[in-house]
Amino acid sequence: MFDRLPPILRHGPAFWRRSVQARVVISTLVLSAAVVGIVGAFLIQQTREGLLENRVDAVVQEAEGETEAARTALAAASGLEVDESAQQQALVEPIQARGATRGFAVVLSPPIREGSRLADGGAKFTEGLDLSSVPEVLEARFESVSPTAWTYTDIRTTQDIPGLPEGPGVVVGSQVRLPADDNTYTLYYLYPLNEQQQTLALVSRAMLVAGVPLLLLVALLTWLVTRQVVTPIRMARRVAERLAAGHLQERLRVRGEDDLARLATSFNQMASNLQKQIRQLEELSRLQRRFVSDVSHELRTPITTVRMASDVIHDARPFLDPVTGRAAELLQKELDRFETLLADLLEISRFDAGAAVLEAEDVDLVDVVRRVVDMTSALAAQRDTRVVVHVPTAPCVAEADVRRVERIVRNLVTNAIDHAESRDVEIFIGGDRQSAAVAVRDHGIGLGPGESAMVFNRFWRADPARARTSGGTGLGLSIALEDTHLHGGWLQAWGRPGEGAQFRLTLPRHLGTQLRHSPLPLVPDDARETV
């Protein structure tokens, strides 16, 4: 579904998250548009109110003038014998004539009485005017004698009236008394607001025409300003990425003397100091690795000589006194441990030097686990620990170095037996299309908070006072982690004090494939239930 979206919609959120310049420009543009819109609406509203107020004042004044002129004319003709209809006609016709030239219409209502409406008939008005243009609310106001009043209306016509277009308008009501029948009549004057409407539309267009270029100018200025700030930051990001990739000679170009230039200078100084420190550390690390490698190699010759002498003494134990015989056994045992330590140091030095290579082949993890269990059965019996293997129904095959995988599993099983405290050790094997895994679970002392990451450090021990009954060197898990990384796999640990620990080895089915998940859980099922 997302593939059908236009590119701008698919990549828009990522572009928004990654581009500071885009966020600043768009945010500034949106805020500027909001400000321009609010100010424009306020100005248009003020202009509208001003135009209407001036127009209303003018038409009310004009309507009152017309009414006053009508009253004067009626007072002058009060002594003449004129019937009611003729007097109404004489009243309306002059006003209609002036309205035709000045652009307004007039309506003379029948004599006021309660409940009467213009729609009931009897009104005299400008020809072509629709009487519904006079609002009923204004008619109701003049059901009795009232002063001049006005309201807004919507002027409607039945035919074209020169100078009086349809649309919004103002209607003003005023009352006169006819001498012929001594009744009060209401004169309604209807004035259009088309000029004010055109003026307001012109002002709105002018503000729109001025606002759009203003927003574009604000966006351009913001883009230019942010570009001047963001460009050095992007250069610093690129240089930082190259520094992180190992190109320690990369530096920023310094231009000018402003804050950004001083920042670039400080960045270059920091990079130079880091380069110096890294080179010193690399040299120290190289010397350390060389020292370990040289010492390990140099110790093999005297150790071989001592081993030969120890074997002679150990074989002669039946002819020695008990104290000397016990010393010969201790010497043999410690020489075995010392040779193991030398072998581990040599292996670590090969990892540090990058000389470790894989001899890959298809390896069945079930066979590897069974061989390791057989090899460690004597240690398990000595510790009164039972090793239980949960074999899957299908073979778990992975492309790996069988010698290194067997060493990893042996280290994990030996470590579990050493810390199981005579409880069962469980081994789980699982696999899927992408990966294969082995999990070793013990129910011993467990690991404290934070120790699951430290357990792979060289020579690290959870309890320094604890005896190494299995003869470990403190490098087994470190070597296992390096072997795992060489395969592109994961070696992870979980533990909880008093509930034991679980180590999980996950390998890709094919070398070079990136792991995304493991077929076995890191946290055991029984531990989840207790949670």
Q: What is the pLDDT of residue 353?
A: 64
Q: What is the pLDDT of residue 370?
A: 92
Mean pLDDT of the chain: 81
Looking at the structure, do residues 348 and 466 belong to the same domain, yes or no?
no
Greatest mean pLDDT among 4-13, 148-157, 288-297, 341-350: 148-157
Residue 140 lies in a domain: yes
* Same domain for 272 and 144: no
Distances (CA, A) of 505 to 199, 352, 486, 496: 81, 22, 13, 19
Q: Give the separation between CA 263 and CA 252, rounded to whole angstroms.
A: 10
394 and 519, same domain (yes or no)? yes
Both 262 and 114 in one domain: the answer is no
| CA 80/CA 101 separation, integer angstroms | 30
Dist. CA 220–CA 212, nearest whole Å: 12
Confidence of residue 15 (pLDDT cuts 50, 70, 90): low
Average pLDDT score over residue span 410-416: 90
* Residue 307 sits in the same domain as residue 405: no
CB atoms within 10 A of CB 299: 17
In a domain, 203, yes or no: no
Does the pLDDT value for residue 216 go beyond 80? yes
Asked if residue 314 and residue 364 are part of one domain, the reply reads no
Does residue 255 carry a pLDDT above 60? yes
With 0-12 / 13-18 / 19 or more C-beta atoms within 10 angstroms meaning exposed / middle / buried, residue 367 is: middle
Supply the pTM of this predicted model.
0.49
Question: Are residues 385 and 446 located together in one domain of the fold?
Answer: yes
The parent domain of residue 483 ranges over 357-530
Q: Which of 195, 210, 226 is the last residue of a domain?
A: 195
How far apart, in whole angstroms, are the C-alpha atoms of residue 171 and residue 156? 12
Whichever domain contains 480, its CATH number is: 3.30.565.10
Mean pLDDT of 426-437: 91
- Which ranges in 316-401 belong to alpha helices (H)? 322-353, 365-375, 377-382
What is the full DSSP assignment across 54-111?
Answer: HHHHHHHHHHHHHHHHHHHHHHHTTTS---HHHHHHHHHHHHHHHHHHHT-EEEEPPP
Is it the case that residue 394 has pLDDT exceeding 60? yes
Task: Tell me, yes or no, whether 127 and 147 share the same domain.
Answer: yes
Distance of CA 41 to the CA centre of its chain: 34
Residue 49 lies in a domain: no
Do 169 and 318 fall into the same domain? Answer: no
With respect to residue 441, please indicate whether it lies within any of the assigned structural domains.
Answer: yes
Token digits of residue 104: 């307004």
Confidence class for position 289, pLDDT limits 50, 70, 90: low
The Cα 268–Cα 262 span in angstroms is: 10
Q: What are 73-122's pLDDT values in tens digits?
A: 887 766 554 567 777 888 888 888 888 888 899 998 888 776 677 877 77
In terms of domains, do 187 and 335 share one?
no
The answer to whether the CB of 339 falls within 8 A of the CB of 350 is no
pLDDT of residue 464: 52
Q: Is the pLDDT of residue 218 over 50?
A: yes
373 and 426 housed in the same domain: yes
Q: Does some domain include residue 40?
A: no
Instruction: Choose the final residue of a domain: 306, 333, 356.
Output: 356
Domain co-membership, 400 together with 506: yes
Q: How far is CA 40 from CA 156, 210, 371, in A?
A: 31, 10, 84
Residue 235 in any domain: the answer is: no
Q: How many domains is the chain partitioned into structurally?
A: 3
- Picking from 356, 373, 396, the residue at the C-terminal end of a domain is 356
pLDDT band at 54 (very low <50, low <70, confident <90, very high): very high
Tens of pLDDT, residue by residue over 329-371, are 788 777 777 777 767 666 666 666 666 677 888 989 999 999 9
Classify residue 413: in a domain, yes or no: yes
Over residues 462-481, the pLDDT tens digits come to: 555 454 444 456 777 888 88
Whole-number pLDDT of residue 508 = 92
Domain with residue 136: its CATH number is 3.30.450
Q: Can you tell me whether residue 203 is helix, strand or coil?
A: helix
Who has greater pLDDT, 461 or 158?
A: 158
Q: pLDDT band for 190, please (50, 70, 90 cuts).
A: very high
- Joined together, the tokens standing for residue 143 give 């059901």
Q: Tokens standing for 184?
A: 């009060």
Burial-class residue 2 by CB neighbours within 10 Å (0-12, 13-18, 19+). Answer: exposed
Residue 139 in domain:
yes
> CATH code at 342?
1.10.287.130
Q: What are phi and psi for residue 190, nearest 5 degrees?
A: -110, 120
